Amino acid sequence: MARTGALDRILQILDGLQEAARPMTAYEVARAVGAPLSTVYTIINDMVDKHLLTRTLDGSVWLGPRLYGYGLSYASSLDYLTVANEEMNRLAVEVGETVQVCGRDEGMMVVLLMCEGSGHFRVTSRVGSRVPINWTASGRLLVAHLPDQERAAFFARYAKPSPTGRAEIRPEVLAHNAREAFMQGLSVQIGESDASVACLAAPVVDPAGACAFTISVVLPEAKALQHTERYSQAARAAAARIEQRLGWRGQPSLAAQGA
C-alpha cells in the first residue's frame, strides 16, 4: 500500500476543514481524512506552530491566519475577480436578487464571490462553499467546454445524488445538458440542490473558448418560473460585460463557433 506523504496529509486536513466549514477536533479530522489519529495530531501541531491552523478555546482547529495572507496575495493577482466583483454587484442591484460568481475545484463548484439581494430571500451557500458539480447550474457550465468523452467521464467520476434527489446523475445526460446550456449561454437549475431554490447561470468564456467562471442569479423557485426571461437576459448581459472588459469578447470560442 502506497504511503501518503506529509504534504498530501496537510492538503487533506485543509480540504477537510474547508468542506466541513467549521472547526474540528483532531479526532474528527482523522476520521474525515482517513488517517491515524497519532499522525494527524503530529501534523496539526506542526501546522498550528506555523500558523497554517489556529486552535480554538475548546481545542478544535480551524484555518489559520497565514492562509488568509496567501489567499489575499492570490486574489490580488487575479484581475478578473475585480471585474467580476463589480459586475456582480451591478447585477444584484439590477435584479434585486442574490448574485454569485462561481469557479471549479476538481469535481466541486466553488462560490468565489457573492452579493446578497435587497429582498428577504437568503441563500445558504456563502463564499468558499463547495458543492458537487452536477448539483448546480454553474457547475455544469464549468465543464461544458470539455470534449464530449472527457466531459462524460468527468460526470461519471464526480456526479453525486443531491439532498432533494432531483439532481441529474447520469453522465451521458449531464454531458449533453451541459453542452446545450453552454451553447445557449445559460444554465438553469430549479430545486436540484435545495428545495424551492433556483439558479440561472451564464458562462464567462475566455479566449480559448473555455468557461473560466460563471455569474449566476440565485432566487426563489416561483420567481424564476415567472420571470425566467428577465433574469436570463440579465445574467447573459453581465457575463458579456465581463468578457468585454477583460478583452475576451470577440475572440473565437466554442459557443461562438457553434462547436
pLDDT at 155: 94
Percentages (nearest 5) of helix, strand, coil residues in the chain: 50, 20, 30
Contacts of 207 (CB under 8 A, 6+ apart): 248, 251, 252, 253
Q: Read off the pLDDT band of 78 (50, 70, 90).
A: low
Q: Read off the pLDDT band of 198 (50, 70, 90).
A: confident
pLDDT at 76 over 80: no
Residue among 38, 255, 254, 22 at smallest CA distance from 128: 22
pLDDT at 26 over 80: yes
Q: Which amino acid is at 106?
A: E
* Angstrom distance (rounded) from CA 54 to CA 93: 37
* Angstrom distance (rounded) from CA 218 to CA 212: 19
pLDDT in tens, 88-147: 999 999 998 999 999 998 889 999 999 987 766 666 567 888 889 998 899 999 999 999
**Average of pLDDT values for 158-183?**
91
pLDDT at 205 over 80: yes
For residue 81, give the 3-state DSSP assignment: helix
**78-257 shares the fold of 6-69:** no
pLDDT-above-70 percentage for the chain: 88
Residue among 153, 199, 197, 201 at smallest CA distance from 174: 153
CATH superfamily for 78-257 is GAF domain (3.30.450.40)
Task: Name the residue ranges covered by the structural domains of the chain.
Answer: 6-69, 78-257
Across all residues in the chain, what is the average pLDDT?
86
Q: Read off the pLDDT band of 216 (50, 70, 90).
A: very high
In the chain, alpha helices (H) = 6-20, 26-33, 37-49, 65-76, 79-95, 137-142, 148-158, 171-184, 221-226, 228-245, 254-257
pLDDT at 257: 37
Helix axes 228-245 and 79-95, enclosed angle (nearest 10): 150
What is the distance, to the nearest Å, from the Cα of residue 157 to the centroid of all Cα atoms in its chain?
17
**Average of pLDDT values for 73-77?**
68
Q: Read off the pLDDT band of 178 (50, 70, 90).
A: very high
> Which range, of 67-76, 169-178, 218-227, 229-238, averages the lowest pLDDT?
67-76
pLDDT at 125: 66
Q: From the CB of residue 29, how many other CB atoms can be counted at a distance below 10 Å?
A: 24
pLDDT at 129: 85
pLDDT at 177 over 90: yes
Choose which CATH entry (3.40.50.300, 1.10.10.10, 3.40.1160.10, 3.40.630.10) describes domain 6-69: 1.10.10.10
Contacts of 53 (CB under 8 A, 6+ apart): 13, 17, 44, 47, 61, 62, 63, 64
pLDDT at 5: 77
pLDDT at 175 over 80: yes
